[in-house]
Amino acid sequence: MPLFVSNLLLLDGWRRLAAAFIAGIIASFAQDPFGWFPLLWLSMPLLVWLLDSAALGQNTKRAAFAMARVGWMFGFGFFLCTFYWLGAAFLVEADKFAWAMPLAVVILPAGLALFWCVAAGVSALVWSTSPLRIVWLALLLAVAEYLRGTLFTGLPWGGFGPALASSGVLMQALSLVGPNTLSLFSVLLFALPVCLFQEDRFKVLGRMMVVLVLTVFVAQVAFGFYRSNLPTELAEDAPVVRLVQPNIPQTEKWKFENRSWIFNRLLALTSLDTEEHPLDAIDMVIWPESAVPFFLMEQSGALTAIKSSLPAGAGLLTGALRRNPDSPRTDEIYNSIYQLGPDGTILQAYDKVHLVPFGEYLPMQPLLDKLGLEQLTAQKIGFKVGTKRTLLDNPKLGKLLPLICYEIAFSSDILSFPKSADLIINVTNDAWFGKTIGPSQHLHIARMRAVETGLPVLRVANTGISAVIDARGKVEKQLELGAEGLIQTHVPLKLSATPYARFGNWIFFAVCVLLILTTASISRKFGKD
């Protein structure tokens, strides 16, 4: 065994935990926008050897607690770097929310790290010196990732799966197996160096695992290279869309005196007629999330202005706040997408179903209100949850799946729509997060959803990054972060439903069962230790 591995095994106390924290930080740079996924071949073996150190000479109970601490510190380092940019949202109204920024930036990563903490602790039940321990760890961490995206409203943002999907080539595997199975495989792949440093009786098994996993990885790369290099498909009469990125600073967005110039900027970009962006033949204009800083349904003059600005025959999709006209309560407000016809009439609306906790609503609001807490949105009473996810019917673009802001992070929520939808519309307002890495991560997630579903994505962001993404996750056009402008382009075609779109997470569950049975059988043959 190499000296550096022996030294890791001898670490104890705070030194072991500090090493786990640093390893987690290193692992976070495998994600977008950095995409340095080879770093995981350093950080994942470090995690395994630190877990070995925690289990060394301990009974199962003591080992479980020691390993859980290592898992938590690794996760805390990882998520701290993954989500540090959330702190920027607390500086938009710094006089009201800056005090809470350190709490949010620390507490959220600490909470998310608990999933990896539990996975590492439970792994003590099956831990051994055999290379099979990395299979058990991969299974447990993948299940933890699935639960992280599901429990307590879920937050499936970041993680090992997106790290292995950091390029257009590697992410194509998502169309086959989805993000959870890719998370499982990524732990197996990046923990492989552990298999090269095994005691003699496990060397053959370790080498077999290396060959098998690398063979799957080579197949992933080959499949991804082939699929990602296929040309973007367009129909002969492909509709033309105009995506508007107004670039309104969040500090200015909800000031009453700014309503006119914000609305006029949207209208000006909508009606702009240049050689590069001609007005003729546009079928749909799309504005970002909450683009209109007032209740659109209650402003007939605004609807008339929109009608006058729209290109001939074009409709509009826009994010806006919606107040329920059928409710006697004036505080029943939704974060919505409106579909307007060429004559400026409102045809359909979709109300956001998956709201951001503490951002768009307060869990246990009556209690937290008494403590003086409030959500970050402009609406003090918070938004109401939409009743259900629905498609918008458009005569030119087909059936549209509207996703507002981080709703696009939840692949499980949209698995029932790829067969019936023709296009994903993702409107968002990432102005909250300035020029941090958050908007880039958000764009990467949209690319992943395109690959998983076989649906193109039109992403329209207030301050960027707006983009046209084809059904294989390729960014055809984009507007950079912090730019004002527009994208005008043909809409790519959808592909046939992918295996993941057809079978969803049943693929992940089947892979887990198969690995459990296979690993348990091999463990009995070789012995646990």
Alpha helices by DSSP H, 409-491: 438-453
Per-residue model confidence (pLDDT) at position 147: 96
Our answer to whether residue 352 is catalytic in this structure is yes
User: What are 253-270's pLDDT values in tens digits?
Assistant: 888 899 999 999 999 999
**CB proximity list for 396: less than 8 A, separation 6 or greater:** 239, 283, 284, 315
Judge whether residue 344 has pLDDT over 60. yes
Average model confidence (pLDDT) across the chain: 90
Q: What phi, psi does 181 have (nearest 5°)?
A: -65, -35
pLDDT band with cut points at 50, 70 and 90 for residue 121: very high
User: Residue 476 — pLDDT band, cuts 50, 70, 90?
Assistant: very high
* CB neighbourhood size of 211 (10 A): 10
Task: Pick the range with the lowest mean pLDDT from 215-219, 330-334, 433-437.
Answer: 330-334
Confidence of residue 371 (pLDDT cuts 50, 70, 90): very low
Nearest to 116 by CA among 160, 152, 153, 85: 160
368/206: higher pLDDT: 206
384, HSE (Cβ side, Cα atoms, 13 Å): 16
Catalytically annotated residue among 289, 360, 407, 452: 289
Helices (H), 274-326: 300-309
Give the per-residue SS3 of 328-341.
CCCCCEEEEEEEEC
Residues 91-102: what's their mean pLDDT? 81
Q: What's the pLDDT tens digit per position in 444-453?
A: 999 999 999 9
Task: Please give the CATH superfamily to which domain 240-494 belongs.
Answer: Carbon-nitrogen hydrolase (3.60.110.10)
> Is residue 405 among the annotated active site residues?
yes
Q: For the segment 507-517, what is each residue's pLDDT rounded down to a tens digit?
A: 999 999 999 99
Q: Is pLDDT above 50 for 158? A: yes
Sequence-ordered strand ranges (E) for 332-418: 333-340, 346-351, 392-394, 398-404
Between CA 213 and CA 174 the distance in angstroms is: 17
Give backbone dihedrals phi and psi of 348, rounded to 5 degrees, phi first: -150, 160
Reported pTM: 0.92
- Edge-first strand order for the sheet with 398-404 is 392-394, 398-404, 423-428, 457-461, 466-469, 475-479
Contact by Cβ (8 Å): 284, 311: no
Catalytic residue among 81, 117, 195, 405: 405
216 token code pair: 């799957």
Q: What was the pLDDT predicted at 22?
A: 97
Look at residue 370 in the predicted model and tell me its pLDDT: 47
Closest CA to 20 of 57, 63, 60, 52: 52
Q: What is the rounded CA–CA span in Å between residue 128 and residue 92?
A: 50
Q: Is the pLDDT of residue 519 over 60?
A: yes
Active site residue 117: no
Delimiting residues of CATH 3.60.110.10 domain(s) in the chain = 240-494
Query: Among residues of the chain, what percentage have pLDDT more than 90?
Result: 66
Q: Which residue has the higher pLDDT, 390 or 446?
A: 446
38 phi-psi bin (left φ>0, alpha ψ -120 to 50, beta other): alpha
195 phi, psi to nearest 5 deg: -65, -20
Does the pLDDT of residue 134 top 80, yes or no? yes
Average the pLDDT over 360-377 and give the result.
Answer: 53
Catalytic residue among 145, 253, 352, 452: 352
**pLDDT tens digits, 281-314:** 899 999 999 999 888 888 888 999 999 999 999 9
- Better-predicted residue by pLDDT, 485 or 96: 485
Q: Where are the beta strands (DSSP E) in 70-221?
A: none
Q: Could you tell me the pLDDT band of residue 152, with boundaries at 50, 70 and 90?
A: confident
Look at residue 317 in the predicted model and tell me its pLDDT. Answer: 97
- Average confidence (pLDDT) over 182-206: 91
